[in-house]
Chains A and B, each alone.
Chain A
Amino acid sequence: AQTVTQSQPEMSVQEAETVTLSCTYDTSESDYYLFWYKQPPSRQMILVIRQEAYKQQNATENRFSVNFQKAAKSFSLKISDSQLGDAAMYFCAYRSVDREYGNKLVFGAGTILRVKS
């Protein structure tokens, strides 16, 4: 079974600075998807960024980028120019391409990101 580990329960960043959230995972599969989701306080969970394992290029979405190290099974999220609206719980998630597992996501425990003004 796949597992996802987020070793940082909580992180803080100064507004306009850069922060990196860590995520490692364990799998025996060679092809899969990885996601970062954001859950603001009392608000809907939304997708931040997605990475397909067969793509070597790191995904980027505006101020959000990932450092995908497939051999190390590492998938960190970098947030540049942090804004107050970035404050949220961030979840790393894994999805197998094996139809046996369907579209089920395996989530990490989450990292609370606090942004200081």
Chain B
Amino acid sequence: EADIYQTPRYLVIGTGKKITLECSQTMGHDKMYWYQQDPGMELHLIHYSYGVNSTEKGDLSSESTVSRIRTEHFPLTLESARPSHTSQYLCASSEFYGGNEQFFGPGTRLTVL
């Protein structure tokens, strides 16, 4: 079944650690997105990609980086995690053209101690 997956679902780590949040989709979508969402708050776009080897920064500045080497895979990396990075990270994907919806993954809830 076509879907969008995120791992891990929950992550608790110490300050200074390098982490990678995984996002994969099996829907054949060209466009992928990363959003940051604090509990009970709105979503803020931090990264997006139009296809392989395409990455752009979103509206909210983030110390994270992303890569898009394969169409289905869009990982997000934090080189040195800090408590200020504690948040929920949502991955989404959509078709390239049209008003089609963005499909969201289940999210990764990150806590940095």
Contact = CB atoms under 8 A, between A and B. Distances in A.
A28 to B, nearest CB: 18
A114 to B, nearest CB: 13
Given A35-B101, A45-B90, A102-B48, A107 B31 contact: no
Contacts of B41: 109-110
Interface string A67-111: 000000000000000000000010100010100001111011110
B104 A95 contact: no
A112 B101 CA distance: 22
B42 A109 contact: yes
B75 interface: no
B44, B48, B96, B104: residue with the most chain A Cβ atoms closer than 10 Å: B104
B40 A50 contact: no
Contacts of A112: 40
Contacts of A15: none
Q: A interface, how many residues as a size bin?
A: 20 to 34
A89 B45 contact: no
Q: Which of A52, A89, A112 has the most CB of B within 10 A?
A: A89
A109 B42 CA distance: 4
B102 interface: yes
Contacts of A50: 99, 101
B43 interface: yes
Given A46-B104, A104-B48, A104-B58, A97 B99 contact: yes
Interface in B90-113: 90, 92, 94, 96, 99, 101-102, 104-107
Nearest to B104: A45
Top-6 shortest CB links A-B: A45-B104, A33-B99, A47-B101, A109-B42, A107-B43, A107-B42
Interface of A: 33, 35, 37, 43-47, 50, 52, 89, 91, 95, 97, 102-105, 107-110, 112
11 contacts: A37-B104, A44-B104, A44-B105, A44-B107, A46-B104, A91-B42, A97-B99, A103-B94, A105-B43, A105-B102, A107-B44
